[in-house]
Amino acid sequence: MGIQHPYLGRKGIIMKYAIGIDLGGTFIKYAVIDEEGHFLYNGKLPSLASTSKEAVIGQLKSAATECIHFANTANITLCGIGIGTPGITDETNRRVLGGAENIAGWENVPLADILEKETGLPVSVANDANMMGLGEQAFGAAKGCSDVLFITVGTGIGGAIIIDSKLYGGYKNRGTEIGHIPLIANGEPCACGSVGCLETYASTTALVRRFVRRCKEESIQLEREPDGKSIIKLYLESHPVAVESMNEHWSFLGHGIAGLVNIFSPQKIVIGGGISEAGDFYIARIEQEVALYSIADCRVNTKICAAMLGNKAGTMGAARMAFLLSKNKK
């Protein structure tokens, strides 16, 4: 179902519209987006994640209702709603199974059923990192590519694998936990319950932890609590502990990505997360490390780049999922 786009001034262009919702531990970001990735309307609400499951659902209903009100006022027809959520969703993309430690009680939630009853629109639900990857593949750094690996480096490490323009989640959507690839045998414990996981060594949290540990070992006083941005700044100033810590960070990350290159051989690897915005040198060092540890024939068609969409990626990916659902139902 499409209508003439009333905002871009292009006569005869038929356009679809969807609601994209990105549920986070602090805020819910939402938007009405057209199928070319243009935002017609957007907003943000507190997620109330620490309050209760019911409070979060109430905020999601409010976000969807606000977008529907805009669509009605603008006289446009919505084809559906896509929602990106922390945690694991089922293979039908309708139910949150669990795994979202930052949202109270976010387990076994039939979210699509709840929102469909509230709005009357088709609803699909998927992991938030998958939605970020889908957004970059449809509208951002990997636009035009069919085989994409998206990795976000932050508090943890997450990501998405897209094969033949489709999200790959493994059997019953239980796979692609990129941050929990075993990296170090008998390594440091991970929050997932295992040891030696990629995110335990290569996330921004791990970078900061290991930098602080080295500073203490060398009796270096820090003026303030460091973060990824401040360590990057010190690295660029040739601070020896920052240089050592960053080199280690790139080595860990490069090892993990190299393994994925050897398995999937993607066209594009898109690196997201705040630290990826440090500059071209950050991506260049990842490329160097991946080249050291991957098989040349596997990486021959692979390019590594920084994400383009920033904090809009999840919302745009969720809308893209709604467009795909609408297309598949035809």
Q: What is the pLDDT of residue 1?
A: 32
Boundaries of every domain in the chain: 3-134+312-328, 144-307
Q: What is the pLDDT of residue 325?
A: 87
Q: List Cα–Cα distances, 145 to 126, 132, 149, 245, in angstroms.
A: 21, 15, 10, 33
pLDDT, tens only, 241-300: 999 999 999 999 999 999 999 999 999 999 999 899 999 999 999 999 999 999 999 999
Nearest CA to 265 out of 118, 117, 157, 162 is that of 162
For every residue of 3-51, DSSP letters joined together read EE-SSS--TT-EE-EEEEEEE-SSEEEEEEEETTS-EEEEEEEE--TTT
H-state helical runs in 37-190: 53-74, 111-119, 128-139
Structure tokens at 24: 């986070």
pLDDT, tens only, 139-173: 999 999 999 999 999 989 999 999 999 999 999 98
What pTM, to 2 d.p., does this model score? 0.91
Q: What is the pLDDT of residue 221?
A: 87
Identical fold for domains 3-134+312-328 and 144-307, yes or no, is yes
- Classify 3-134+312-328 by CATH class: alpha beta
Q: How far apart are CA 61 and CA 42, in angstroms?
A: 15
What is the 3-state composition of the chain as percent helix, strand, coil, each rounded to the nearest 5?
Answer: 45, 20, 35
Kindly report the number of other CB atoms within 10 A of residue 317's CB atom.
32
Biggest alpha carbon–alpha carbon distance for the chain:
69
Burial of 318 (0-12, 13-18, 19+ CB in 10 A): buried
Q: In this structure, which amino acid lies at residue 59?
A: Q
Q: What is the pLDDT of residue 2?
A: 35
Q: What is the pLDDT of residue 52?
A: 93
Q: How far apart are CA 141 and CA 151, in angstroms?
A: 12
Q: Which fold has domain 144-307?
A: Nucleotidyltransferase; domain 5 (3.30.420)
Q: What is the pLDDT of residue 9?
A: 43
Reported as type and span, the H/E element at residue 283 is helix 280-293
Q: What is the pLDDT of residue 104?
A: 87
Q: What is the pLDDT of residue 328?
A: 74
Look-up: residue for tokens 């009405």?
Answer: 32
Tell me which long-range contacts 103-111 makes (C-beta under 8 A, separation of at least 24): 103/23, 103/25, 103/47, 103/49, 103/53, 103/56, 104/49, 104/50, 104/51, 104/52, 104/53, 104/56, 105/52, 105/53, 106/49, 106/53, 106/56, 109/53, 109/57, 111/57, 111/60, 111/83, 111/85
Q: How far apart are CA 65 and CA 44, in angstroms?
A: 13
pLDDT by position in tens, the chain (length 330) = 333 345 544 555 678 999 999 999 899 999 999 999 999 999 999 999 999 999 999 999 999 999 999 999 999 999 999 999 999 999 999 999 998 878 989 999 999 999 999 999 999 999 999 999 999 999 999 999 999 999 999 989 999 999 999 999 999 988 899 999 999 999 999 988 999 999 999 999 999 999 999 999 999 988 889 999 999 999 999 999 999 999 999 999 999 999 999 999 999 999 999 899 999 999 999 999 999 999 999 999 999 999 999 999 999 999 999 999 887 775
